[in-house]
Every structure is written in C-alpha cells, then in structure tokens.
Amino acid sequence: MKTIDGKILAAKITEAVRTEMAVLQPKLGRAPKMDIIVVGEDPYSIKYVNSKKKKSEEVGIECDVHLLSATTKQEELLHLIDQLNQNNQVDAILVQLPLPEGFDEQQVLEAIDYRKDVDGLHPMNVGLMQRVEDPIIPCTSRGILSLLQEAKVDIAGKHCVVVGRSSLVGYPTAQLMLKMNATVTVCHSQTENLAQHTKEADILILATGNPLLVTPDMMKPGVVVIDVAINFDNGKMVGDAYHPAYLDKLGKVVSAITPVPGGVGPMTVVSLLQNCLDLYKKHHNLEIK
C-alpha cells in the first residue's frame, strides 16, 4: 500500500509559489494581498487563520486578519466585505467558516466579489469550475486533485465515488472529478447500501467525519483512497477509513491512500496560497499556469 504524503507535496508547492512570487513582485510593484475575516472567538478558527497568515507571509503574500466579535451584526460584516471588494490593493478575500449562529453564511459568501473569492465558494466560481480552463477551485478540492496528480493516478474514465456532499468538500470535489472526466457517484447520509457503491470505486474520496464508516471490506481491490476527514478516537487523529486498527486490512486492499494526519490536511493551506497567487495574476491580467 502506497502512502500519498501531503506534507512532502505541500512543501514542494510552497517552494514553487515562493519562487514565482519572488519573480512577479518586482515586476508588478507590490505583493499579493489577502484579507481574512474571523467572526467570534473560536480558538480553533483563530489558530487555523494564524497558520494561514504565517504560511502566506512565508511565501511573500501580505495577509491582514480582521478579528470581529461574535456580537458583530451581519450588516457590519457585509459592510467590511464591501470595503475590501472596492479596495484595488486587495486581491483575495476569505471569510473563515463556520460563522457564529445567526449569520446567513450563504449571503456572506455571495457578498464577496467572485474575482477575489480565494476559497472558490461563490456561486459564480462554483459554476465557472465546469466552464473555464483556470477556475478558482475550493482549497481542499484543489489539494485532492494535486495529490492524485502527484501520485500519477489516472482520473479520466475512472469511477470516482465521493462519500459526503458538503458545500466545502464533497460537492465541489465531485464537480472537479467530473471536470477531470471521471465517472462520479456521490453518496451521503441518505444513501442506501453504501457498500454497493464504494465497492465499485477506482478512486474513493471520503469526507464525512464519521470514522470507520467505510471499512476495508467495503472497498474494491486496488482502489485509491483519499481520506479527507479529521476525527479523534481516544485522543488520536484518524480519518474516515485511515485508522490504526485497520491498517493491515487496508494494506491488502488499497493500492494507495492519504494518511491522517499528513495527507489532505497540509494541502488545504498550500492550495489557498496557489489560489491567492492565481487571483493576483488574474488581477494583473497575467496567464495562469
């Protein structure tokens, strides 16, 4: 069983982004700028955003974080987004999710100028994913694609089964696999006889947050497994399938798998850096590679 290492690929991509930034910034006269908005005091969100800021600045992206209290009104948040939309020095805008209770998350996402939507979650970008060559792809989905390509997994013509249909991961990943010419099945909490579908997968993408929902006996021999989920079992981080108790059994069925931790997780932040660089280049009418 081959392990698809996200840490190694994330480091490789980070260096590539840093190198390109060093070339572009002197030519364009300024660094890319990303603004991140955090509403509330959730310690996990703040820690995650600080990690994004640190990684951004390491590669030459200017990153401002706006910390808003949980008592902030929706109108105030929308006003701040509008200000950033109008600021020509801002290339990328990110609102950290989830928002506190009481906010209309969809309205907030739709308020971001889709040309600055670094998360790729604006409805316009969701639609453009199928229609243009260089769409802004949601970060986790972009990271999944990068991992499959790095592992030289053939996607076109293969049967990809995505378990989970969230707007952040499952749905956009299914769309992306369709764009890559896979045959796609999406399963979810209402799917009957889940094993019947997972056993047909050449590529199995798991994003449910339900550990051991899909066990080795529910997989086709030779399947490639992308385990997106982060779960905790007795204090140990595990995936939806990647679990210490099942590694031996997985090894007899799976041809390649992303570990948890160290698989998809590291790729999400570096995909954010790639998206920010792409928005910066689009802003300056440069070709996206």
CA distance 120 to 175: 13
**Active-site annotation holder among 33, 52, 55, 281:** 52
Task: Tell me whether residue 54 is one of the annotated catalytic residues.
Answer: no
Task: Tell me whether residue 52 is one of the annotated catalytic residues.
Answer: yes
CA distance 162 to 60: 35
CA distance 62 to 90: 9
Task: Tell me whether residue 96 is one of the annotated catalytic residues.
Answer: yes
- Whole-number CA gyration radius for the chain: 19
**Active-site annotation holder among 35, 119, 202, 240:** 119
Contact 229, 207 (CB under 8 A): yes
Per-residue burial over 252-278, b = 16 or more CB atoms within 10 Å of its CB, e = otherwise:
ebbebbbbbbbbbbbbbbbbbbbbbbb
**Active-site annotation holder among 35, 55, 91, 96:** 96
Residues assigned a catalytic role? 52, 96, 119
